Amino acid sequence: MKVKFKNSIHNELISIFGKDNVLIDQHQLYVYSHDCSNIRSKNIKKPFAVVFPIDVYQVQKLVLLANEKHLSLVARGIGTNHVGSCVCLNDSSIIISFIKMDKIIKINPINLTVEVEPGVVVENLQKELGKQDLFFPPDPSNQKVSLIGGAIAQSAGGPRGFKYGTVKDYVLNLEVVLPNGEIIETGKNCHKNVEGYNLTQLFVGSEGTLGVITKATLKVIPQSEANNVILIYFETIDEAANAVCSIISHHIMPSVLELMDNNTLKTIEKFKPSGLKTQYEACLLLEVDGFASTIAQQCETVKTLCYNNNAKDVIISQNDEEKEKIWIARRSSFACCTKLAPNVIADDFVVSREFIPLAVKTIQNICKKHGIIVCIMGHIGDGNIHPNYALDLNDENEMNRFNACRSEIIDEIIKLKGSITGEHGIGFEKAKYIEKSIGSVNIQLMKSIKNIIDPKNIMNPNKIFK
Ligand SMILES: Cc1cc2nc3c(=O)[nH]c(=O)nc-3n(C[C@H](O)[C@H](O)[C@H](O)COP(=O)(O)OP(=O)(O)OC[C@H]3O[C@@H](n4cnc5c(N)ncnc54)[C@H](O)[C@@H]3O)c2cc1C
C-alpha cells in the first residue's frame, strides 16, 4: 500500500474514532496478527490498523469507508477462537475490536431477555444475570475472557450444551451493520418470530463474514436452585459411554456431561495437581441441577447407574469448595496441555453419541501411529470431542506427520457422518476441509449467500471457504 494512501486512511480513521481509539504502531499491530489458533502461514498479515468503536454509527462510518477504499474488515472479540477466524489475510485489513462496546444495556426479567453490546465478557454477563436469579447457560470454557460478540459470531457452545443448548439457542435478535453500511435488526426481541427467513440464525456462527454485530438480544432462563458435581472413573471409554446412555435413558438430564481421557487426567495432574485419579482410562465429570430437594436423589441414581456400568469410583462433591476444585481442574485442561510441548492445537469434532467410543479410539490410534501426543476431552453428552494435540509448530517433520494425522482423523469423522466442528467454527484453518465434509452443492449455496450480502468481499474475506 502506498505511503500517501496509508496516511490518508489513518487520518480518516482518526477522524471517525479519535486518536486514542486507533492503533497503527507496528509492534502493537503484530499482537493482532494472531489468535488462539496458533496458525503459522505466510498468508497471515499484520492488520493495517486496529480500531475501537464505541457505538454503531462509528462502525457504520468505517464500513462505508471500507467500501469506498476497498479495505477489508475483521471483527474481533478477544481472539480466543481456535481456527484463525480473526486473523488478517491481506495488508489492507482493519481489525474492529469491540472491547469498548461492553455495556449490558437492559436486563428484562419479565420478558426473560437481555440486550448486550458485543464486547461484554461472557462471565460478566452471567454474574450480572445471577444477581437477579437469571441464567445465560452457554459457557465456553474460556468464559472468563471471551466476549459475547465472538461467542455469537462463532456460535460457541461449552459443557452445558447437552441440557441447555448452545449460543444459537439463545439469540433472539441482532443489530448488524451490513457490508453496504445499512444497519438492520435481524428479528424482534420476541421469543417467537417466523417473519420470513431466519436472518438471525444466518448471522449466528457466520464468523464475521456477513456483517458486524453491534447489539444482541439474548434469551435468558431462571437460574436453577441448586446443583452438584460428580466425578466418575472407568477402565474403558466404552464403559463411560454406556453409563452416559444409561443415565439419559433413566430420564436424568445432567446439566454437564464431560469426558476426559487418561492423557488428559495425567496432564492436569502433572501441571495442576487436583486429586484426579490417573490410573483410569476415562473420567466423566457430571453436573446435575434443579430444585434443591432433587439433587441428592439425582446424585444417588447417577452413582447406582454408573456402578451398574462398571464404574471404578464415583465421587460426589460434598461442598462448594470441592465442586469448584473439580471445575478448576477441568477448565485448566487446555492450559495444562500447552505445557506438554511448545504449542497446542485444539480440535473439535461431533459424532452421533453412539459413535463416541469408536471415534475416541480411532483418534487415539491415528495419533499413536503418527507419533502425535493427544489429550482428548469432550462434551460427551453432545457427542462433541475435543482432541488437543501437543506439538512443535517449528518442527517440520512433526508438522508433516501432524498434517497427515489430522487429514486421516477428518476422513474417519466424515465416514461416521460426523461434523468437523461443533463449536469452534471453520475460520481459515479448517477451510480446506469443509467441502469434503458438506459437499460442493452446499458450499456453492453458502458462497452465493455471501456474494449477495457482501458482493465486494469486505467482511472477513477468505474465511469458512476460500
Ligand atoms: C481455553 C479455551 C477454551 C475454549 N472453550 C470453548 C468451549 O468450551 N466452547 C466453545 O464453543 N469454544 C471454546 N473456545 C473457543 C472460543 O473461545 C470461543 O469460540 C469464543 O466464544 C470466541 O470468543 P472471542 O471473544 O475470543 O472471539 P474471537 O476469537 O475474537 O472472534 C471469533 C469470531 O467472531 C467474529 N466476531 C467477533 N466479534 C464480532 C462481531 N461483533 N461481529 C461480527 N463478528 C464478530 C470474529 O471475526 C471471528 O470470526 C475456547 C477457547 C480457548 C482458548
Residue 145 Cα to ligand 1 midpoint, Å, equals: 10
Amino acid at residue number 176: V
- Both 315 and 394 in one domain: the answer is no
Inside any domain, residue 299: yes
| Rounded-to-integer distance, Cα 345 and Cα 233, Å | 26
Please give the grid coordinates belonging to residue 396: 517440520
Nearest Cα neighbor of 159 from 386, 312, 421, 314 is 386
Inside any domain, residue 274: no
How many structural domains comprise the chain? Answer: 4
What is the atom index within ligand 1 of the atom nearest the CA of 379?
8
- Both 108 and 211 in one domain: the answer is yes
DSSP category for residue 121? B
Residue 250 Cα to ligand 1 midpoint, Å, equals: 35
Q: What is the CATH number of the domain that holds 16?
A: 3.30.43.10
Nearest Cα neighbor of 260 from 276, 243, 245 is 276
Query: In the listed set 64, 97, 130, which residue is the last one of a domain according to the structure?
Result: 97
What is the atom index within ligand 1 of the atom nearest the CA of 148?
25
Residue 235 Cα to ligand 1 midpoint, Å, equals: 34
- This prediction has a pTM of 0.95
Inside any domain, residue 202: yes
With beta carbons less than 8 A apart as the criterion, state whether 257 and 379 touch: yes
Inside any domain, residue 264: no
- Both 160 and 204 in one domain: the answer is yes
Q: What Å distances lie between residue 7 and 32, 129, 244, 416, 436, CA to CA?
A: 20, 44, 60, 53, 43
- Both 120 and 190 in one domain: the answer is yes
212-219/171-177 β-pairing: antiparallel
Query: Which is it for the CA torsion 285, 288, 292, 297, positive or negative?
Result: negative
Query: In the listed set 63, 97, 131, which residue is the last one of a domain according to the structure?
Result: 97
Q: What is the CATH number of the domain that holds 233?
A: 3.30.70.2190
- Both 254 and 308 in one domain: the answer is yes
With beta carbons less than 8 A apart as the criterion, state whether 316 and 228 touch: yes
- Both 125 and 214 in one domain: the answer is yes
What is the atom index within ligand 1 of the atom nearest the CA of 335?
1
212-219/104-108 β-pairing: unpaired
Residue 146 Cα to ligand 1 midpoint, Å, equals: 6
Residue 143 Cα to ligand 1 midpoint, Å, equals: 10
**For helices 237-249 and 292-308, angle between their N-to-C axes, nearest 10 degrees:** 140
| Rounded-to-integer distance, Cα 44 and Cα 89, Å | 5
Q: Please tell me the predicted confidence (pLDDT) of residue 154.
A: 96
Q: What is the CATH number of the domain that holds 378?
A: 3.30.70.2740
- Both 86 and 116 in one domain: the answer is no
- Both 117 and 213 in one domain: the answer is yes
One-character DSSP codes across 208-238? TSS-EEEEEEEE-EEPPSEEEEEEEEESSHH
- Both 309 and 232 in one domain: the answer is yes
What torsion do the CA atoms of 301, 307, 311, 317 make, to the nearest 10 degrees?
40
Inside any domain, residue 22: yes
The radius of gyration computed from the CA coordinates of the chain, to the nearest angstrom, equals 23
Give strand pairing partners of 226: 290
Residue 138 Cα to ligand 1 midpoint, Å, equals: 12
Top mutation candidate among 73, 80, 88, 338 for ligand 1, by most atoms within 8 Å of CB: 80
Please give the grid coordinates belonging to residue 359: 471415534
Inside any domain, residue 449: no
- Provide the residue-wise pLDDT of the chain in tens; the chain has 466 residues: 677 778 899 999 999 999 999 999 999 999 999 999 988 888 999 999 999 999 999 999 999 999 999 999 999 999 999 999 999 999 899 999 999 999 999 999 999 999 999 999 999 999 999 999 999 999 998 899 999 999 999 999 999 999 999 999 999 999 999 999 999 999 999 999 999 999 999 999 999 999 999 999 999 999 999 999 999 999 999 999 999 999 999 999 999 999 999 999 999 999 999 999 999 999 999 999 999 999 999 999 999 999 999 999 999 999 999 999 999 999 899 999 999 999 999 999 999 999 999 999 999 999 999 999 999 999 999 999 999 999 999 999 999 999 999 999 999 999 999 999 999 999 999 999 999 999 999 999 999 999 999 999 999 999 998 7
Nearest Cα neighbor of 256 from 183, 167, 159 is 159
What is the atom index within ligand 1 of the atom nearest the CA of 35?
29
pLDDT tens for each residue of 273-304? 999 999 999 999 999 999 999 999 999 999 99
Ligand 1: lining residues by beta carbon, under 6 Å: 35-36, 74-82, 85-86, 98, 118, 140-142, 146-147, 149-151, 153-154, 156-158, 207-208, 212-213, 334, 423-424, 460
With beta carbons less than 8 A apart as the criterion, state whether 245 and 302 touch: no
What is the atom index within ligand 1 of the atom nearest the CA of 75?
47
- Both 231 and 141 in one domain: the answer is no
Query: In the listed set 292, 327, 362, which residue is the last one of a domain according to the structure?
Result: 327
Top mutation candidate among 142, 328, 348 for ligand 1, by most atoms within 8 Å of CB: 142
With beta carbons less than 8 A apart as the criterion, state whether 77 and 98 touch: yes
- Both 115 and 217 in one domain: the answer is yes
- Both 314 and 359 in one domain: the answer is no
Residue 170 Cα to ligand 1 midpoint, Å, equals: 16
Inside any domain, residue 276: no
Q: Please tell me the predicted confidence (pLDDT) of residue 466.
A: 78
With beta carbons less than 8 A apart as the criterion, state whether 102 and 120 touch: yes
Look up the domain containing 201 and give its range.
Answer: 104-222
Residues in the chain: 466
Inside any domain, residue 126: yes
CB < 8 Å & 24+ apart, contacts of 247-252: 247/286, 247/301, 247/302, 247/305, 247/306, 248/381, 250/301, 250/305, 252/288, 252/298, 252/301, 252/302
Nearest Cα neighbor of 136 from 219, 229, 254 is 219
